[in-house]
Amino acid sequence: MTEFFSVFFNVILPVFGIVALGALLGGRLELQARTLTRAAYYVFVPAFIFQAISSATVPLGSAMKMILFIVLTHVLAALVAGGIGRVLGKSKEMIAAFVMIAAFGNVGNYGLAVIRFRLGDAALAPATIYFVAISITAFVICVGAAGWAHGGSKGAIWGVVKTPALWATIPALLVLSCGLTPPLVISRMIGLLADAMIPVMLFALGLQLLEQRRVSLSRDVLLATGMRLLLVPALAFGVAIPFTLGPIENAAGILQAGMPAAILVAIISKENNIVPNFVTSVVVVSTLASLVTLTLLMVML
């Protein structure tokens, strides 16, 4: 019990406190989440990914194992969530929502900050690899689910290809594999931008939650929240066993799998008319519930 409260107050609350500041101050300062999220999406996140991967000391073989482990976990989670929806006789739109929620956790702002506080700076490189792999996998799954429910969403595939996080990964891997050193002026600029990513994204998350005004608490919302916060990390525990990853890589992957539903899921659901009010409710409820579930998961790890 002592460890539970220690993790809660020293790891979870500092992260959630910045989210709360965004929610509390957003209205008074007349801030819009879109401005911060776009800045983070196009500037801060690519800088962070470039810095984390280009300076990583993760061997290529280990990185490939981590990617395979986390992709397999989320594909399996999407299949199980879809199967649960079918067994319960849900509509195509609701099944697609279950799949999207199970596949896409908040592995960027929330996940990276929590993992950094709990596991230290050494966990940032593997956590970032998981972040990129999950984001790309989840985008593809969400696009596929939306297309299955409504008959196609080809334009969204291009959105995956032109994701800034993906494009930042390519030069970062080139620098890492070739042992290159960027010019000092460039590396310092990237470093400053990278350091700003986590606080900016956490504050933006608070603004986004503030803007999600229509929240309901139904059985389906609780079920989807349980899938996101309990089912996916449980699957990650099992899938990780044959991969024999290191302790930090293993813990970082399972924690990323246990993150609440991403705000991007709500955005995708609105754009594709996939029960947006339901998905928005799950995003808010799972984020609040993660205060407890993530604390318990960290104590177990």
pTM to 2 decimal places: 0.84
Q: Is the pLDDT of residue 155 over 50?
A: no
Contact yes or no for 118/255 (Cβ under 8 A): yes
Q: How many domains does the chain have?
A: 1
Q: How many CB atoms lie within 10 A of CB 167?
A: 14
Give pLDDT tens digits for 26-37: 878 888 877 887
Task: Report which DSSP code applies to 274.
Answer: S
Contact partners, residue 6, CB within 8 Å, separation at least 6: none
- The enclosing domain of 248 has a CATH number of 1.20.1530.20
Give pLDDT tens digits for 167-187: 777 788 788 777 788 888 988
HSE-CB of 293 using CA atoms within 13 angstroms: 24
- Beta bridge pairs of residue 105: 261
**Closest residue by Cα to residue 118 from 234, 253, 7:** 7
CA 86 distance to own-chain centroid: 26
Contact partners, residue 255, CB within 8 Å, separation at least 6: 111, 114, 115, 118, 119, 127, 233, 294, 297, 298, 301
Q: How far apart are CA 218 and CA 221, in angstroms?
A: 5
Q: Which residue type, as a one-letter code, is found at position 57?
A: T
Q: Is the pLDDT of residue 157 over 70?
A: no
At 277, list the tokens. Answer: 């009010």
Q: What is the pLDDT of residue 40?
A: 79
**What is the arithmetic mean of pLDDT over 269-282?**
83
Give pLDDT tens digits for 207-237: 877 877 677 788 999 999 999 999 999 999 9
Q: How far apart are CA 198 and CA 191, in angstroms?
A: 13
Contact yes or no for 114/105 (Cβ under 8 A): no
Q: What is the pLDDT of residue 95?
A: 92
**Closest residue by Cα to residue 71 from 266, 210, 256:** 256
Q: Which residue segment(s) compose the domain that 282 sits in?
A: 2-300
Q: How far apart are CA 85 and CA 298, in angstroms?
A: 29
Task: Report which DSSP code applies to 212.
Answer: -
Contact partners, residue 161, CB within 8 Å, separation at least 6: none
More confident residue, 154 or 98: 98
Give pLDDT tens digits for 54-63: 877 777 788 8
- Dump the DSSP string for 231-273: IHHHHHHHHHGGGT--HHHHHHHHHHHTPPBPHHHHHHHHHHT
